[in-house]
Amino acid sequence: MQEKLRRTGEIPRHIAIIMDGNGRWAKQRSMPRIAGHSEGVESVRDTVEACGQLGVEYLTLYAFSTENWKRPKEEVSLLMRLLLKALKDETDRLHTNNVRLQTIGEISALPVEVQNELLEDIQKTKDNTGLTLILALSYSGRWDLTRAIKRLVEDAKANKLPEDQISEQLVASYLSTGDIPDPDLLIRTSGEFRISNFLLWQLAYSEIYITPKFWPAFRRDELYAAIRDYQQRERRFGMVSEQIKSNGSKGGTLNRLIKSVTGP
Ligand code: FPP
């Protein structure tokens, strides 16, 4: 299947996923919500492995949003313990598979053991050259934009930033995704049609794929279906269809244009 996908079209360079439906998956089975989160870790493992094998360069997972802090204390605490355990259990395998781990979000808000584990795992995998796995933790798009604006204003006050230098590229460079290219494909599970405060700036031109499957039931076959669907889309970036079609014969002028829209 992976070979077939490589033949049928382009593999998205960056996939972002809103992993939703863990609670409902568990409820359907009369299990506690944490059982859904726990099975969700299996989906994370399978998706990361399949993305690495396919040659996806970046995978960003919305693992814990700023808003998730408002959940019952017990669920937050269990989620943090599950995250810590998953990091401890999986980092060696990630490392062996040449995966580089990164995070976006307000990491200082996480329990200190989670912060320490993340630091250690990021350090350990930093020179890996395969898939970059980005965990969005205590993250929200509005938090990201607010933080970028604060930092931009600070630099402007310190005269590090002439006004005429404020461009889209500059704003993007102040976001927590820095030099990571924008997602090509956003997948959301559990059939909800919402962005839920995820990568608000970065998703400007992403193709969106929504599946009714709950996250714990999302495995590599679902990922392949999403990529297949992506390959059948025509990405126009605000242009017209004819411009896209004629690009193939014109030495990639459009590809350069697209790169200027989606980042490095
Ligand atoms: C959404 O389902 C899922 C989450 C808020 C947490 C996702 C966390 C994991 C899959 C486990 C840890 C992650 C990693 C990266 C190891 P929900 O609880 O909102 O489900 P519901 O909408 O059905 O209630």
Q: Supply the DSSP string of 52-90, one letter for each residue.
A: HHHT-SEEEEEEEEGGGGGS-HHHHHHHHHHHHHHHHHH
Report the alpha-carbon distance of residue 213 to residue 20 in Å, rounded: 9
User: 6-49: per-residue pLDDT in tens?
Assistant: 999 999 999 999 999 999 999 999 999 999 999 999 999 999 99
Q: To test ligand 1's pocket by mutation, which of 17, 18, 22 has the most ligand atoms within 8 angstroms of CB?
A: 22
What pTM does this model have?
Answer: 0.92
> What is the pLDDT at residue 254?
58
Please give the tally of structural domains in the chain.
Answer: 1
> What is the pLDDT at residue 250?
52
> What is the pLDDT at residue 161?
84
Q: To test ligand 1's pocket by mutation, which of 17, 18, 20, 81 has the most ligand atoms within 8 angstroms of CB?
A: 20
User: 102-124: per-residue pLDDT in tens?
Assistant: 999 999 999 999 999 999 999 99
Query: Catalytic residue among 46, 68, 128, 247, which?
Result: 68
> What is the pLDDT at residue 251?
47
Tell me the CA–centroid distance for residue 160 and ligand 1, in Å. 40
Residue 43 located in a structural domain: yes
Check whether 137 has a pLDDT greater than 80: yes
pLDDT band at 252 (very low <50, low <70, confident <90, very high): low
Report the alpha-carbon distance of residue 30 to residue 36 in Å, rounded: 10
Give Cα 25 distance to the centre of its chain.
22
Residue where the block lists tokens 């313990």: 81
User: 189-210: per-residue pLDDT in tens?
Assistant: 999 999 999 999 999 999 999 9
Residue 91 located in a structural domain: yes
Residue 113 located in a structural domain: yes
End-to-end CA distance of the chain: give it in Å, rounded: 29
Residue nearest to atom 8 of ligand 1 (CA): 63
Give the mean pLDDT of 43-61: 98
Computed over every residue of the chain, the mean pLDDT equals: 93
Residue 20 located in a structural domain: yes
Does 24 contact ligand 1 (Cβ within 6 A)?
A: yes
Strand intervals (E) in 114-255? 132-139, 185-188, 207-210
Q: CATH number for the domain including 115?
A: 3.40.1180.10
Does 21 contact ligand 1 (Cβ within 6 A)?
A: yes
Residue 84 located in a structural domain: yes
Is 255 a residue of the active site?
Answer: no
Residue 242 located in a structural domain: no
User: 141-150: per-residue pLDDT in tens?
Assistant: 999 999 999 9
Tell me the CA–centroid distance for residue 59 and ligand 1, in Å. 16
Residue 64 located in a structural domain: yes
| Burial per residue of 170-196, b for 16 or more beta-carbon CB atoms within 10 angstroms, e otherwise | eebebbbbeebbbbbbbbbbbeeeeee
Q: What are phi and psi of 48, to 5 degrees?
A: -60, -45
Do 188 and 209 form a contact (C-beta atoms < 8 A)? Answer: yes
Report the alpha-carbon distance of residue 182 to residue 13 in Å, rounded: 9
Range with the lowest mean pLDDT among 74-78, 124-128, 160-164, 188-192? 160-164
Give the mean pLDDT of 83-108: 98
Tell me the CA–centroid distance for residue 1 and ligand 1, in Å. 28
> What is the pLDDT at residue 247?
67
List the domain range (segments joined by +) for residue 177: 2-233
Tell me the CA–centroid distance for residue 227 and ligand 1, in Å. 22
Question: Which amino acid would we find at residue 169?
Answer: Q
Report the alpha-carbon distance of residue 201 to residue 196 in Å, rounded: 13
Is 221 a residue of the active site?
Answer: no
Percent of the chain at pLDDT > 90 equals: 83
Q: How many helices and strands, by DSSP H and E, does the chain display?
A: 10, 6
Residue 90 located in a structural domain: yes
Does 86 contact ligand 1 (Cβ within 6 A)?
A: yes
Does 59 contact ligand 1 (Cβ within 6 A)?
A: no
